[in-house]
A and B are shown apart, each in its own frame.
Chain A
Amino acid sequence: MTMTHTLTPTADLASGIEDVARLLTPDGERIADPDLDRWVEDVDASVLRGLYRDMVLVRRIDTEGVALQRQGQLALWPPCQGQEATQVGTARALRADDFAFPSYRETGVVHVRGAKPADFVLAWRGEEHSTYNPYEINTATQQIIIGAQSLHAVGYAMGIQRDGTDQVSVAYFGDGASSQGDVNEAMVFASSYRSPVVFVCVNNHWAISEPVTVQAKYPIAGRAPGFGIPSMRVDGNDVLACLAAMRWALDHARRGNGPAFIEAVTYRMGPHTTSDDPTRYRDKEEVETWRRRDPISRLEALLRAQGEFDDAFAASVEADADALAREVREAAMSATTREPLTMLDHVYAEPHSGIDEQRAWFGAYLDGFASAQAGAEEVAR
């Protein structure tokens, strides 16, 4: 007798970890995948070169961010090294009018969406809470509260439904975030309303010091079907597979079939942030294993095999990366802190008597120092 009413997981994390959809092996060999191939039939060498260039630029922004923090120019930096393929592959699949809700680590997503050099550094320097105008690049401010943005993405998608357009909204969040109530509630809402939203769970194996096994004993992609959401587990270090998976998910949502879920399996090569010390909790060997799965060298190997990677191309990408890094650095070094009184701006969208009163008082208070200073200089003269 079979127990037809019993649902039993068929995998656990330990055995299922390598079970990912993939188009490029870690050595850069193009392999077939029945689910993914049809989504990248049009991808030619020039597209691949574009993805390569994006990933190199993102890595360079990241390296520069770490360096600027070490030099005291930034208070903090959350490195994304190792996750470039997930970020670039999924973001490149978006249309300009789709709307992304990234987390703090999605440097590559924000880059692809069109952020400017200063946008990468001013918040981490402590000058601003955010930089770009979300509506200019159809990308929300990078979220720090773990998982909160997943619900925002669903709400945005509910708005899309009401407006009757074929846009899609995207939530990016980590494996740690998958434990939050917000993320689970987001899946319930999205499924219930069949909203056009794509969930991209970036499983980089670590939530600060906690391995993904603290959050999940079964592949995270396996949760979505329980909410009624189709999902795919993809090699997050394979940019081509990420592009393909995202095109599948976006197409599903755009056609009015409701949400889709992607678990991109990748690895955080660096510390959680520049304040973190990963030697306290993880082994060097694990990091080295993942270094051999590097997303950038993997694509380089493919391009070389296709005869599409030569010194001139490499040099031009390097030059672009150098130029971008220089701009990022200059944006950090030339940043100035705004006037203290501006701190009271934008608390409300409309005039507010309480704030007006505090601004008047604080302005007078600050002026008191200025006039005391002027008085002292007068006396000195």
Chain B
Amino acid sequence: MTQLTMAKSINEGLRRAMADDPKVLVIGEDIGKLGGVFRITDGLQAEFGADRVIDTPLAEAGIVGTAVGLAFRGYRPVVEIQFDGFVYPAFDQIVCQVAKLHYRTRGNVTMPITIRIPWAGGVGAAEHHSESPEAYFVHTSGLRVVAVSNPQDAYVMLRQAIASNDPVVYFEPKRLYHTKGEVDLGVDLADAPPMGLARVAREGTDVTLLTYGSQVGIALDAATAAEDDGVSIEVIDLRSISPVDYRTVTASVRKTGRVVVTHEAAREAGVGAELIASVTERCFHYLEAPPQRVTGHDIPYPPAKLEKHHLPDLDRILDAVDRVLDRPNSLTGVFEQ
């Protein structure tokens, strides 16, 4: 075990994947000499050469579209999109090609492409640098979508994503890049929990709190705060948001009977909507209260000085916990629920 930041653990994950498999290529803007704007690819070009760590022209459709061609040819491209808000020029290639080629060719062609996206807010950035576009990709069949919340998962799940024969969109919370955690660099992928499994991050009995990525830490803080209030919250770190490990989720909801979902992305047609619909379908008779969502507002990401009012925080999560427990909360007297 070593103490590593999440940024370093992703860097190590890339290094290991490249060392293990000569077909793994890393492609993106500024990832060579600069090591990427977040330094995630630091040192990789020096170590593996400019043929395998490729600085591309500034064109996201071009980056993902050529990754498709490389995958056709048997390579395993790992694409870096510089920021969440810059993935959209590549959207057509991801939705119409990356996601569909295996299906279109009746399984003859695989698309083992990993699309890494520095993701979400809380870092005081300019417009387009704090977005949570995960629902677009979750909605797209043919893609696997994961979001990591700690350095160990970041390291292991990246290697699993690269090893997967399916395309994986891999979300990295920017605000956690510099948080440290224990990482077992020697872990054998065969022994590690598969990337599709959710993790019970904290056990509890009264309320199930479902979340992923950058919100996991905040959810755990909320659980700690609720404990002082006599409420026991079970926090589930979904890790994979497509597909979702409903076995873990429903086991928890059947135990607690109450569920809150939190994510940074806007509420409307977000991942939370899907989670609650599915949980309701599977656990309707176990539910003691209407499931609740804690999300960003349904607005374009606001200017940085206002983002603290946009992002779900501990108080907003606890407010929703009050709602599912039918305690006084911010909706009391405001709306008919």
Interface residues of A (CB under 8 A from B): 75-76, 123-129, 144-147, 176-177, 179-182, 207-210, 214-215, 275-276, 280-281, 337-338, 340, 342-344, 347, 354-355, 357-358, 360-362, 364-366, 368-369
In the complex, what distance in Å separates the CA atom of A209 from the CA atom of B298? 35
User: Given the interface contacts A210-B29, A210-B30, A358-B298, does A123 sit within 8 Å of B126 by beta carbon?
Assistant: yes
Q: Besides A123-B127, A207-B29, 19 other CB < 8 A contacts? A: A75-B124, A123-B303, A126-B305, A144-B126, A144-B127, A176-B57, A177-B58, A181-B59, A208-B34, A209-B34, A210-B55, A215-B57, A338-B306, A342-B306, A343-B302, A358-B298, A361-B334, A362-B297, A365-B316
In the complex, what distance in Å separates the CA atom of A362 from the CA atom of B33? 46
Interface digits, B21-57 against A, CB 8 Å rule (1 contact, 0 not)?
0000000011011110100000000000000000111
- Give A373 Cβ to nearest chain B Cβ, in Å: 13
User: Given the interface contacts A179-B58, A179-B62, A214-B57, does A127 sit within 8 Å of B29 by beta carbon?
Assistant: no
In this complex, the member of B59, B89, B268 whose beta carbon has the largest number of chain A beta carbons within 10 angstroms is: B59
Kindly state whether residue B70 has any CB partner on chain A within 8 Å: no
- Give A335 Cβ to nearest chain B Cβ, in Å: 9
Main secondary structure of the interface of B (DSSP, over half): loop
In the complex, what distance in Å separates the CA atom of A362 from the CA atom of B37? 35
In the complex, what distance in Å separates the CA atom of A182 from the CA atom of B124? 28
In the complex, what distance in Å separates the CA atom of A29 from the CA atom of B305? 48
Give which listed residue, B58, B62, B304, B305, contacts A207 with CB less than 8 A.
B58
The 5 closest A-B pairs by CB, nearest first: A126-B304, A209-B34, A179-B57, A340-B309, A176-B58
Interface residues of B (CB under 8 A from A): 29-30, 32-35, 37, 55-59, 61-62, 85-86, 88-89, 124-128, 268, 297-300, 302-306, 309-310, 315-316, 319, 330-331, 333-335
When the two chains form their complex, are residues A361 and B330 in contact, meaning their CB atoms are under 8 A apart?
A: yes
- Give B103 Cβ to nearest chain A Cβ, in Å: 25
Main secondary structure of the interface of A (DSSP, over half): helix
User: Given the interface contacts A208-B30, A208-B34, A357-B335, does A179 sit within 8 Å of B59 by beta carbon?
Assistant: yes
Residues of B within 8 A of A355 (CB): 298-299
User: Given the interface contacts A176-B58, A365-B319, does A281 sit within 8 Å of B89 by beta carbon?
Assistant: no
19 A–B contacts, CB within 8 A, in A order = A75-B125, A76-B125, A76-B126, A126-B304, A144-B128, A145-B85, A145-B86, A176-B57, A180-B58, A182-B89, A207-B58, A208-B30, A208-B34, A210-B57, A214-B56, A343-B309, A362-B309, A366-B309, A368-B330
